[in-house]
Each structure stands twice: as C-alpha cells, then as structure tokens.
Chain A
Amino acid sequence: MKFVCNKDDILNEILYSMDFTSQRNSLSITSNVYLETSGGRLIIRATDQKLGFSTEIAVETLQAGKTTVFCEKLLNILRSLPDTKIDFSLEDGMLTIKPEEQNIDFKLRTIGADEFPSLENSESSSYFTIPQKSFTDMANQTMFAISEDETRYFLCGLYLERNASGMNMVATDGRRLSIVERTFEEDLPMFPSIIIPPKFFTELKKLSTDEGMLDLAITENILFAKIGNRTFYTTLIKGQYPNYRRVIPETQTYTCTMRIQDMLDALKRVSLLVENKAKRIFLDISESGVLLTSDESEVGEAKEIIACQYEGPDTKVSLNYTYLVNPLKVMEGEYFSISFTEPTRAMTVKPDSNKDYFHIIMPMQPNA
C-alpha cells in the first residue's frame, strides 16, 4: 500500500475518526483507524462497535492496499507535521509516514485490515433527506433533559418518533420533559420509534456543515447519518420509552408571561444563594410580578422581582432552577410563559412566539 496526500486533507478526517475509536486500550483493533486506498481514493473507517464512521478523500494512489494503525498516534503525528504533501507506505507491517522533502520519518506498527470489524451498512435507498439545521435544533431544544441515571438507561437518550407530518423528539429524566413536534416539508418514510444515545448528536454537531442537508436512515437497531462523503451511525438504546404523553397536561388553568432575558438574569443572581444539591428556588407568582427567592440558608438569602403578565390567584411554586435555565437559554423569541393549574402539579413552559417545542417541569414539594 502506498499513497500521497495533503496533510490537511487526511488530518481533518483522522480528527473526526478519533471520536469513533475506542480509547481505552491501545492494543485493541477498535482503537485503530482503517485505511484503504485504490484508484485515487482513500477510505477511512473507525468504530468502537457502538458508533461507526466512514469517509473518503482524494489521494494519489501509488499502490492499492489496506491496513489499520493506532488512531491516536497517527493523529498526533499528523498534527506535528509541517503543511506539505505526505507519503504513506506499508512495508513489513509498519506504516511509514514521511513528509515530502523533509528529513522526518515516522514508522507506526499496524494491525492487519482483515481483523478490523466490518461496519454496519444501510441501503442507500432507505435514506431520507432533511435540513441539518432543523434536526440539530430539535436536539438542542431537548437534549439537556436527558437522564444521567444509568439505572434508567432508556431515559439516557433522545426519543425520536414519526408524527403525522414530521417527527417528534423527546427527552426526559423523569422530572422534567422537553419535546419538539416538528413538521417537515420533505417526504419522510415511516420508521419505528427509537432512542438515540446523546453521543450521536455530539458527533453530528461536529460533522455538521450547518446549512446543508442531512441524510438519515433508521433501522430497528441503528441510526445512520450521511453528510457529504461522511457516513456515521450509532447503535440505538434498547428499551421501552415511557408513555410520555400521559404526563403532559392537556390544559392548564393559569398562565404567567415574562421576558426570557429577565428570568435568566434573575435566575443567575438568585441561584448564587441556592443550596447546591436541591437547587430549589421559589417563584411567587402574582399579578404585580414574579418574586424569585432562594431558601434561607446559613449563607443568606436572595430575592428578586421581575415583571410579568398574569391573571389569577397569588401562587407559590418551588422548583429546581436548572429546569428553567436549561430550556430558556436556547429558547427563541423575547417572551415565554409558565402555565399551571396547581402549584404541586406539572407546569408547562413555552416560548410565547409560535414555536413547535415546550417543556414540562415537575415542581418540588412546597414545604417539606
């Protein structure tokens, strides 16, 4: 195997590949990156057996062939090299990396390409196309509500389901829930509801070219995504997602509207004195304004009033302030509303502008 390519071309792809290798053990084949060249192309693959990545770039193939090398070392070597064309050649199980016209010579031990696990594949016909931005935005509006409790592993991912005219994305940790119900103009096929590990979206964001399109293919166990020449996939979280519809209140009696920025600023200040484990704040909602208070503690207490539009009885609710901060930080528009029926029941948090997402927050026990 022998090929020549620009440093930046290959470095970029190895950088992406790195995230898909298993980084625990340098002796494992899945810590390696797969390189295969023929006919002026270099195919690069990486997998940790859960996620997989495959891409190709144009190179000058001098001799077709394939091998695998320890991805992290290859990445560090490439990073250290000057910007120039680089010769790669495989001899006696060692991959030689040599920048042209330089006295630099790296040799990396390889593992045979035959030992590299085969990547999952999906028929190109099963892909459907949507705007990248729309899909990553759905994740942005919900991702923070994913559970971190591994005993409830099925809540540790984003739930994606087909709706009549598009897709719903849902995240919940059992205490708050965030949902986007998005309509797509593009034709979407029917697909089974799936639970997507959050790492998929971390990678999607890195690989995203923002304005472009995204091809998705969904099977029972795997979600495939394609952006340009790059294909990646994740195995899905298996398990029964709870019947989340049941916990979304159909109607709420009272609605209080506030400026998003007012609330964020006030939360930032009042939360300075909020006890760190429970993270509880109180909202005293009245027609004259919303009073935010921290619990009284040894350290002290904090109070702040913000303006609101509200008609209803004076109501005190207590909740984990991060459940408000997380969605408000990414909420569009100027105003948002908190709707409720009783201070001890689920509240609905919505952008005031006509958007397709909202959040359900369970309060804390008021006076325990």
Chain B
Amino acid sequence: MSKFETLKQELARYAFPAGISTSVLLEVSPPLRRVLQKIMRQGSMTFIELSDELDLEGNEATEIAELFVKCGFLKSTEKAPSGDVVFRICHTRSHRPDAPIAIWREMLDDMRDDIDTTDTPKVNASKVNTSKDATHSQTNTQANTQANTQANTQASPQDAKRNDSDGSP
C-alpha cells in the first residue's frame, strides 16, 4: 500500500471534533506522530513543509492536509502579513475531572468571594446536634448498622432464591 493510502486509511479512523489531547501522540502510528510532533515543536508548518514532511505531492498532499484538518488534528490559519496558509496543532482544552475533592474543600475559603452565598440553604438551628445529641446519634447509627448487618446475614430463603435467580451476588 502506498504511503498516501496508508495515511488516508489511518486518518479516516479518527475524529476529534474538539481537537486532540497530547496523549493521542501515544496512539497514532510513528509516521503520523512524527509529523504532529514536528508541528508541535515548530509551532506551525506551511503546506509545502507539510508536503515535504509527508513525502507527498500535488493532490495527494492536499487531500491528506484536508483530512488532518477534518479529523481534528490540525487547524489551518492564514499567517500575517504574507497570507500563506499554515497548519497548527488543534489542541483540545485541558480539563482535570480527577482533581481530588479535598482540594476543593481546602480552597473553599479562598473561593468564597466567587460563590453566590444567597443560594446557600439556611441552617435550621433546632436541627443542629449538640455534642450530647451527636453522641446519641452516633450510637443509634452504630446500632442501626449492626441491626442491618444481622438482617442481611439472616436473609430469608426467599431472598436467597431471588438473589440466585437474578444473578445477584
């Protein structure tokens, strides 16, 4: 298979409407990675440079460049003042959904100014446990937990049968 066909087939497998994460470099084939990394290092690449890098000419180079853009790897922009088209990496936005919850808690004081406090639910003073109540509450919770544990371990034969039939553990 020609280099053009190989690249075309690989690019057709990808769709990154919001741009690529750098981690994509670890997934793509070495020829594709080398091109993307070179653009990343240089910042941008002209069409001629891209064609040279891909070792393609004419319509084949144009088609692959268009596919790079269509798949979300690259974006093309006009470079001032020459007006030449240059290709740049289309990076996705960095997000960190895995940030530990403790971070938010610790930062709460500093973020307080940004938080709309009018939405904060009012505290009902009569429902706030005193330390004595809290001790009772804790004792009750422990008792309930014990009771629940016993109930679970003493499940009825019907429960056991139901669990067996629906595949539940």
Chains A and B come from one and the same complex:
no
What residues make up the interface of A, taking CB atoms closer than 8 Å to B? none
